[in-house]
Structure 1
Amino acid sequence: MSKEPKEYQFNEDDAFELTSMVREGVPFPYFTKLSNQIHFGFEDWSSYLHLSERTIQRYKKENKSFDPLYSERILQIELLYKKGIEVFGVADNFYTWMDTLSISLGNVKPKQLLDTSFGIDAVYDELGRIEHGVFA
């Protein structure tokens, strides 16, 4: 068995492929690698996934894949971060933006909206406006 986390190479526009990935579940090693890349700890994920830190620790201990409900949110956040880094060009600039109050997002930090699909969509839409130079 390989110790390297599974690399998901996917077309983010392919709904069937994403659906299959969600159904398989995100493996914990992949989750760990993603967490390190986007600088999220268990406390962050606990809030976004609506899981206790203890439950996340149990996934780690058992080295199991996340259930589809949680896998979907993990992949939504991953896609958002990929888009954000693409829009900002530099990961650190995007991370800073995610942690800065945004008037257009209701005067909250974009990062605070990642606990619902609607919030993720709102952040994604704001990235689209930034990408196209629409700041109103």
Structure 2
Amino acid sequence: MTYSYQNFDDVGVFNLIDITQKGISFKLFDGISKKFPFTMQDWADYLHISGKTLSRYQKEDKSFDVLQSEKILQIEILYKRGQEVFGSSENFLIWLQSENVALGKTKPQDLLGSVFGISLLMDELTRIEHGVLA
């Protein structure tokens, strides 16, 4: 599954809605999660579930609910946007794990548990892309 931040049209958005309503399988989540240096406990925290529940999803190849699926896709879209802005996944991941002055000395990855945090990070990536760093 490949999504690019810059070319979402109504069809693309409806496709995302359809995917989230059906629920993302653990197998698909696993492919997305491996792009990041996060632990399974980090992911559990971002998805507001226990590590034990996440392990059960893995064991049973269970699908995530709508809200969890939306969060997973939002993080995936953020990843794609970060690659576009920084030119590589490596540079984006360094940024994601580094304290950020523009974000009040917060590590961007610490904001992934909130849709507002993800939105803030998307805005910050746009500012970086346009050369507005603070």
Shared fold, TM over 0.5: yes
Cα displacement string for residues 24-66 of structure 1 (whole angstroms, at most 9, x for unaligned residues): 1111111111111223221110110111000000101111111
Preserved contact between residue 4 and residue 81 of structure 2 (Cα < 8 Å): no
Q: Does 1:113 align with 2:118?
A: no
**RMSD of aligned C-alpha atoms?**
1.3
Distance in 2 between residues matched to 1:41 and 1:30, nearest whole Å: 16
Preserved contact between residue 10 and residue 18 of structure 1 (Cα < 8 Å): no
Distance in 1 between residues matched to 2:100 and 2:89, nearest whole Å: 18
Q: Does 1:46 align with 2:44?
A: yes
**Could you list the runs of 4 or more consecutive aligned residues of structure 1 that deviate by over 6 angstroms after TM superposition?**
none
Preserved contact between residue 98 and residue 110 of structure 1 (Cα < 8 Å): yes
Preserved contact between residue 3 and residue 77 of structure 2 (Cα < 8 Å): no
- Hey, what does 1:93 align to over in structure 2? 91
Identity value in percent: 47
- Hey, what does 1:33 align to over in structure 2? 31
Q: Which amino acid aligns with 1:21?
A: I
Long gaps (5+) in structure 2:
none
Distance in 2 between residues matched to 1:46 and 1:93, nearest whole Å: 24
Count of aligned residue pairs for this structure pair:
129
TM-score scaled by length of structure 2 = 0.90
Cα displacement string for residues 4-28 of structure 1 (whole angstroms, at most 9, x for unaligned residues): xxxx245652321111110011111
Q: Structure 1 38/24 Cα, relative in aligned 2: closer, same or farther at 3 Å? A: same
- Hey, what does 2:21 align to over in structure 1? 23
Give the Å deviation of 1:109: 0.2
Distance in 2 between residues matched to 1:107 and 1:10, nearest whole Å: 29
TM-score scaled by length of structure 1 = 0.89
Secondary structure, counterpart of 2:34 in structure 1: helix
Higher relative contact order (CA 8 A, sep 6+): 2
Long gaps (5+) in structure 1:
1-7
Distance in 2 between residues matched to 1:90 and 1:11, nearest whole Å: 14
Q: Which amino acid aligns with 1:64?
A: K
Distance in 1 between residues matched to 2:75 and 2:115, nearest whole Å: 9
